[in-house]
């Protein structure tokens, strides 16, 4: 078992000051077989490319700040305390358009083999 204390992630220094950060927090080393987890810090103006996953489902837990989630072309404001479910195949990205960091935890089902990240151009 592992407990994720969101307050600790809110208070943690950004390991890559001034840049976005993505670090694994739940892996097979934690005996997680079918789930993975990451801690993400988006600095102002940053976000991952618009993409989808062929086999992966995700839960995003916003823990500090505000951002915009783009799901299938629709923009939705999100803030600390919001939880988002993203089914496999749904195009999405998270963009920080604010002047403060946006932090979140993401938990996801692990694809059977390899990376299933597909960037949408």
Q: What is the pLDDT of residues 66-81, one digit of tens each?
A: 999 999 999 999 999 9
pLDDT digits (tens, 9 = 90+) for 1-60: 999 999 999 999 999 999 999 999 999 999 998 999 999 999 999 999 999 999 999 999
The gap from C-alpha 30 to its chain's centroid, in whole angstroms, comes to 19
Kindly state the tokens that stand for 104: 């979140």
Judged by DSSP in three states, 120 sits in coil
The predicted structure's pLDDT at residue 95: 98
Show me where the domains of the chain are located: 6-119
What are the tokens at 6? 């969101």
CA 17 to chain centre: 18
pLDDT at residue 110 greater than cutoff 90: no
Burial class (CB in 10 A: 0-12, 13-18, 19+), 93: middle
- Condensed to tens digits (0 to 9), the pLDDT of residues 56-69 reads 999 999 999 999 99
User: Taking 70 as the threshold, does the pLDDT of residue 114 lie above it?
Assistant: no
pLDDT value at position 112? Answer: 60
- The CATH superfamily of 6-119 is Jelly Rolls (2.60.120.10)
pTM: 0.92
Alpha-carbon torsion (48, 52, 56, 62), positive or negative: positive
Q: What is the DSSP string of 59-112?
A: EEEEEESEEEEEETTEEEEEETT-EEEE-TT--EEEE--SSS-EEEEEEEEPPS
Give me the mean pLDDT over the 91-100 stretch.
Answer: 97
């Amino acid at each position: 078992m592992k407990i994720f204390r969101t307050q600790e992630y809110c208070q943690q220094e950004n390991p890559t000051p001034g840049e976005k950060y993505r670090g694994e927090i739940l892996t097979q080393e934690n005996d997680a077989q079918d789930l993975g987890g990451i801690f993400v810090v988006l600095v102002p103006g940053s976000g991952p490319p618009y993409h989808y996953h062929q086999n992966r489902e995700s839960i995003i837990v916003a823990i500090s700040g505000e951002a915009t989630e783009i799901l299938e072309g629709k923009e939705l404001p999100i803030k600390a305390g919001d939880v988002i479910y993203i089914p496999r195949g749904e195009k999405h990205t998270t963009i920080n358009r604010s002047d403060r960091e946006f932090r979140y935890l993401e938990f996801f089902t692990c694809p059977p083999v390899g990376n299933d990240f597909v960037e949408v151009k």
